[in-house]
């Protein structure tokens, strides 16, 4: 099968949700997409979001991941009647084993399972998604695409924590970085837009969605990033705290009597924009509350923007020059005030926002939103398309060598 016409089902299996999309590799056209949410609860629901004329939502009380995959497969085979040529899985943690996407076999699946010790909140769900699609599509090629893989080039001074070395040796405790699929796409896309080879580009990109991170890319490779062992490190996010003092767990345990797991839960699900504002985890909601003069929402916005600006400057320590700053993800692509505030804090890079270009997200200028200094760009990410390209690449390579 020519890789251009390959039709790929992409599965993104999380703790309480399972997203699927179905793309044609060549044009990157989305043929179908949907999401099952609030899985294993009374409110579990399965939603078709594409194609437009098939949009619908169905309640699947107590339905879990199996039910979600079953419904997605049923929709693809019975409703839109496309043949699935291959399956791509978004896997959060690839540890040190996986430096790029790989075709899934039993050994790969065992390793993804084993990495649950480093990523207990993520990898068990990825592994479950893989097992289910292997069952529903036996014999169909399946590829794992890892969020950590693009960061396999991090130099040692970036990925080691300054803790006793044996924790690295024994347990592989180190910084890994995440959102790699998005940064890989952004690297290809900025090279295309600037009409320069990725190997010659040095830039800093911020992926700002519900999870937020920023990465320095040097000659097409990740050389520093804000997330670490887990996606909790680094920037302030929707519900995640980002960096805190490492003794915070102990202090909160002493003061509140809470268990460690409960405190991790506070830092993961009740902190960030939500924790500071007390209003919402959602940047749109924060901006609306600020318009109503909500001071805690303004505080959350300020902490979010300051911490991001500080991180962007810190990431420049890994570069000789900054060819571009890139904003992506739901907040990066859509939030005019966040970009204006952050760039306003980067005067040391000479950044001068062009308010008109920023207001239209750089649509008329190839994404550029600055008029002087280091140029800043808004570039919509497309992780599904990147996963589809990786599936086509891995399977194409298999054909060459097989």
Residue 338 tokens, joined: 């966040």
Q: Which two tokens stand for residue 111?
A: 């390793």
For the CB of residue 273, give the shortest distance to ligand ADP in the complex, in Å. Answer: 7
Residue 389's region, left for phi above 0, alpha for psi from -120 to 50, else beta, is alpha
Q: Which two three-digit tokens encode residue 8?
A: 């790929």
Our finding on whether 180 is near ligand ADP (CB under 6 A) is: no
Q: Is 88 in the site for ligand ADP (CB under 6 A)?
A: no
Site size with ligand ADP, rule: CB under 6 A: 13
Please identify which residue in 14, 177, 180, 211 interacts with ligand ADP, judged by CB under 6 A. Answer: 211
290-329 mask for ligand ADP (x: CB under 6 A)? ---------------------------------------x
Buried b (16+ CB within 10 A) or exposed e, 119-141: bebbbbbbbbbbbbbbebbeeeb
Which tokens is 244 given? 């805190």
Paired sense of beta strands 18-24 and 7-13, if any: antiparallel
User: Least distance (Å) from ligand ADP to the CB of residue 19?
Assistant: 9
Does 85 participate in catalysis according to the annotation? no
Which structure tokens are listed for 181? 């699929």
The rounded distance, in Å, linking the Cα atoms of 275 and 293 is 18
Q: What is the enclosing helix (H) or strand (E) of 94? A: none
**Local structure of 80: helix, strand or coil:** coil
Residues between 237 and 256 with contacts to ligand ADP, criterion CB under 6 A:
238
Stretch that binds ligand ADP, among 168-176, 217-225, 277-285, 339-347 (CB under 6 A): 277-285
395 binds ligand ADP (CB under 6 A): no
Q: Which is nearer to ligand ADP, 158 or 378 (CB)?
A: 378
Give, in order, the Cα–Cα distances in Å from 96 to each of 92, 118, 119, 325: 13, 11, 13, 28
Considering the complex, state which of residue 264 and residue 334 has its C-beta at the smaller distance from ligand ADP. Answer: 334
* For ligand ADP, the closer CB: 141 or 234: 234
CA 316 to chain CA centroid, Å, is 21
Tell me: does residue 335 bind ligand ADP (CB under 6 A).
yes
Whether the CA torsion 109, 111, 116, 118 is positive or negative: it is negative
Residue facing ligand ADP at closest CB distance: 330
Q: Which of 113, 282, 288, 323 forms a contact with ligand ADP (CB under 6 A)? A: 282
The minimum distance between CB 332 and ligand ADP, in angstroms, equals 8
CA-nearest of 93, 33, 76, 102 to 387 is: 102
| 210 is an interface residue for ligand ADP by CB under 6 A | yes
206 versus 322: smaller Cβ distance to ligand ADP: 206
Is residue 259 at the binding interface for ligand ADP, with CB under 6 A as the rule?
A: no
Give CA–CA dist 391/395, Å, rounded. Answer: 6
- The stretch among 78-86, 223-231, 242-250, 276-284 that binds ligand ADP (CB under 6 A) is 276-284
Check 147, 282, 320, 398 and give the catalytic one.
Answer: 147
Annotated catalytic residues are 147
Q: Which residues bind ligand ADP (CB under 6 A)?
A: 209-211, 238, 282-284, 287, 329-331, 334-335
């Amino acid at each position: 099968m020519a890789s251009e016409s390959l039709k790929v089902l992409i599965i993104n299996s999380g703790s309480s949700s399972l997203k699927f999309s179905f793309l044609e590799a060549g044009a990157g056209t989305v043929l179908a997409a949907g999401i099952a949410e609030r899985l294993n609860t009374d409110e579990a629901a399965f939603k078709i979001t594409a194609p437009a004329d098939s949009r619908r939502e169905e309640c699947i009380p107590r339905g879990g991941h199996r039910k979600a995959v079953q419904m997605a497969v049923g929709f693809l085979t019975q409703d839109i009647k496309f043949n699935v040529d291959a399956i791509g899985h978004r896997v959060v943690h690839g540890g040190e084993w996986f430096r790029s996407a790989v075709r899934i076999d039993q050994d790969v699946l065992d390793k993804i399972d084993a990495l649950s010790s480093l990523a207990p909140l993520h990898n068990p769900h990825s592994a479950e998604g893989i097992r289910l699609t292997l069952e529903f599509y036996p014999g169909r090629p399946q590829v794992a695409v890892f969020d950590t893989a693009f960061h396999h080039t991090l130099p040692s001074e970036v990925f080691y924590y300054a803790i006793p070395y044996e924790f690295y040796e024994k347990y592989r405790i180190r910084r890994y970085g995440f959102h790699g699929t998005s940064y890989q796409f952004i690297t290809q896309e900025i090279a295309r837009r600037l009409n320069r080879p990725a190997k010659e580009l040095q830039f800093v990109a911020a992926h700002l969605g519900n999870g937020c991170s920023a990465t320095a890319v040097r000659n097409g490779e990740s050389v520093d990033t804000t997330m670490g062992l887990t996606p909790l490190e680094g920037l302030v996010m929707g519900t995640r705290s980002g960096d805190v003092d490492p003794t915070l767990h102990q202090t909160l345990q002493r003061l509140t009597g809470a268990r460690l797991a409960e405190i991790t839960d506070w830092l993961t699900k009740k902190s960030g924009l939500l924790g500071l504002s007390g209003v919402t985890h959602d940047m749109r909601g924060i901006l609306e509350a600020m318009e109503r003069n909500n001071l805690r929402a303004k505080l959350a916005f300020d902490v979010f923007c300051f911490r991001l600006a500080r991180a962007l400057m810190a990431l420049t320590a890994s570069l000789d020059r900054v060819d571009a700053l890139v904003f992506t993800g739901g907040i990066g692509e859509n939030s005019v005030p966040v970009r204006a505030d952050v760039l306003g804090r980067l005067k040391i890079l000479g950044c001068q926002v062009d308010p008109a270009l920023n207001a239209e997200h750089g649509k008329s200028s190839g994404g550029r939103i600055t008029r002087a200094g280091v140029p800043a760009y808004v570039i919509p990410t497309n992780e599904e398309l990147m996963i589809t390209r990786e599936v086509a690449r891995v399977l194409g390579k298999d054909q060459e060598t097989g």
